[in-house]
């Protein structure tokens, strides 16, 4: 069982992954991983993953056999375990609890693609529906507080398997960054009486940082972007919880997500990136001051001592330039450019 430990200074939680523990002596930097000659996520290899918790599959096909479009399985090496109780306790000035939670993998296609951007829009919509279905199911477990949906693309962004997939990690405590985002938004709400993200959408739509402005969603490079080409996708309708996305919105969101990622992948020549769904806690009802959204972080710059020490970031590309460059990408397959919509 992994252990959750809390830093007493910052209130930051750390998962000490006892079960995964490698011996410290294994930590020589960057051991070159052998090129995998076998992919457990490809169609036909379903027996090599834990049994699926969810799938979109052809009528009449059995679980854990071919015939699926999107398949969700528990992570074979989970960072948090599903069985047991929290066992919260103190140790002198420190606090800890058992590493209870969930860790699932969303295998986005049976084909060995390295991104989901080559997939048709309706397939990407199925991936989004799979996220939604898992969150609605995991929410029923009252030990689960927060579900993080995220995707690592490329080794430098932390991806260990090439076959395109995303992950869902559900934690038994509210993560620190989420708590800070929510309380920042709450302070704004208390002072101005409006949702900060609704105001951001309104202001961004009249500025030069928009990448895509479509039905229901806007993608833009944020005013205080930490990283070159950092892009956020925000729903225009106020909604605190991602999993409450409507059936119409799923299609629109999938289209904007796919095209935004395609523009980023083209701009940075397939470089590494992460995307992260920022949403409200599973165990809370509607929240007026928080607004779900997606943050996409290309990983082109190194994070060095200064950033680690201060939380200050240095971004060599102004977001206005980044947005213009993303809008100007020529995409194959006739995707409409932002400029053409006007």
| Positions in 146-165 near a second copy (CB under 8 A) | 146, 148, 150-152, 154-159
Nearest CA to 128 out of 46, 210, 242, 217 is that of 242
- Cα separation of the two ends of the chain: 55
Size of the site for a second copy (CB under 8 A): 101
By CB under 8 A, name the one of 215, 223, 246, 286 that touches a second copy.
Answer: 223
| Shortest Å, Cβ 174 to a second copy | 9
Three-class DSSP category at 150? strand
Q: In what order do the strands lie in the sheet with 146-153?
A: 54-57, 68-74, 102-107, 165-171, 146-153, 273-278, 293-298, 231-235, 217-220, 210-213
Give whichever of 43 and 156 is closer to a second copy, judged by the CB atom.
Answer: 156
Whether 241 sits among the annotated catalytic residues: the reply is no
Q: Establish if 303 lies at the interface with a second copy (CB under 8 A).
A: yes
Q: Determine the interface stretch with a second copy among 67-75, 135-143, 319-327, 334-342 (rule: CB under 8 A).
A: 319-327
Q: Establish if 62 lies at the interface with a second copy (CB under 8 A).
A: no
| Positions in 72-101 near a second copy (CB under 8 A) | 79, 91-94
By CB under 8 A, name the one of 1, 136, 161, 314 that touches a second copy.
Answer: 314
7's tokens: 């830093």
Q: Establish if 266 lies at the interface with a second copy (CB under 8 A).
A: no
Q: Establish if 342 lies at the interface with a second copy (CB under 8 A).
A: no
Rg, Å, the chain Cα set: 20
| Positions in 160-219 near a second copy (CB under 8 A) | 167, 169, 171, 175-178, 180-181, 184-185, 188, 196-197, 199-200, 203
| Positions in 104-143 near a second copy (CB under 8 A) | none
Given a contact cutoff of 8 angstroms between Cβ atoms, the answer to whether 152 and 158 are in contact is yes
Give whichever of 110 and 166 is closer to a second copy, judged by the CB atom.
Answer: 166
| Shortest Å, Cβ 285 to a second copy | 21
Q: Establish if 284 lies at the interface with a second copy (CB under 8 A).
A: no
Class of residue 43 by CB neighbours under 10 A (exposed 0-12, middle 13-18, buried 19+): middle
Name the β-bridge partners of 81: 100
Using CA atoms of 101, 134, 21, 304 in order, give the dihedral in degrees to the nearest 10. -100
Which of these is catalytic: 103, 123, 163, 165? 165
Q: Establish if 145 lies at the interface with a second copy (CB under 8 A).
A: no
Q: How far apart, in whole angstroms, are the C-alpha atoms of residue 190 and residue 200?
A: 16
Active site residues: 165
């Amino acid at each position: 069982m992994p252990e959750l430990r809390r830093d007493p200074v910052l209130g930051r939680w750390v998962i000490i992954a006892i079960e995964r523990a490698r011996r410290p002596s294994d930590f020589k930097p960057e051991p070159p991983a052998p090129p995998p000659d076998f992919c457990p996520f490809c169609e036909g290899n379903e027996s090599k993953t834990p049994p699926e918790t969810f799938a979109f599959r052809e009528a009449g096909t059995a679980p854990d056999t071919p015939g699926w479009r999107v398949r969700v399985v528990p992570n074979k090496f989970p960072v948090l375990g599903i069985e047991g109780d929290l066992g919260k306790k103190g140790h002198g000035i420190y606090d800890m609890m058992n590493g209870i939670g969930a860790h699932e993998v969303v295998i986005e296609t049976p084909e060995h693609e390295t991104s989901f951007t080559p997939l048709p829009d309706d397939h990407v919509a199925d991936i989004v529906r799979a996220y939604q279905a898992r969150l609605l199911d995991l929410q029923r477990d009252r030990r689960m507080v927060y579900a993080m949906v995220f995707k690592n693309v490329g080794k430098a962004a932390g991806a260990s398997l090439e076959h395109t997939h995303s992950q869902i990690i559900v934690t038994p405590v509210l993560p620190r960054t989420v708590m800070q985002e929510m309380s920042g938004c709450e302070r704004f709400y208390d002072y101005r009486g409006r949702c900060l993200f609704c105001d951001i959408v309104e202001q961004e739509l009249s500025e030069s940082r928009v990448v895509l402005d479509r039905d229901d969603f806007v993608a833009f490079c944020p005013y205080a972007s930490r990283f070159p080409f950092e892009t956020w996708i925000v729903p225009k309708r106020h909604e605190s919880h991602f999993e409450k996305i409507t059936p119409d919105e799923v299609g629109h969101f999938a289209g904007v997500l796919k095209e935004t990622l395609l523009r980023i992948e083209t701009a940075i020549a397939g470089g590494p990136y992460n995307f992260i769904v920022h949403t409200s806690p599973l165990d809370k009802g509607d929240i007026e001051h928080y607004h779900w959204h997606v943050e996409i972080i290309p990983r082109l710059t190194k994070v060095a001592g200064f950033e680690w020490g201060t939380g200050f970031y240095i971004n060599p590309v102004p977001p206005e330039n980044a947005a213009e460059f993303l809008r100007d990408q020529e995409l194959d397959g006739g995707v409409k450019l932002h400029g053409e919509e006007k």
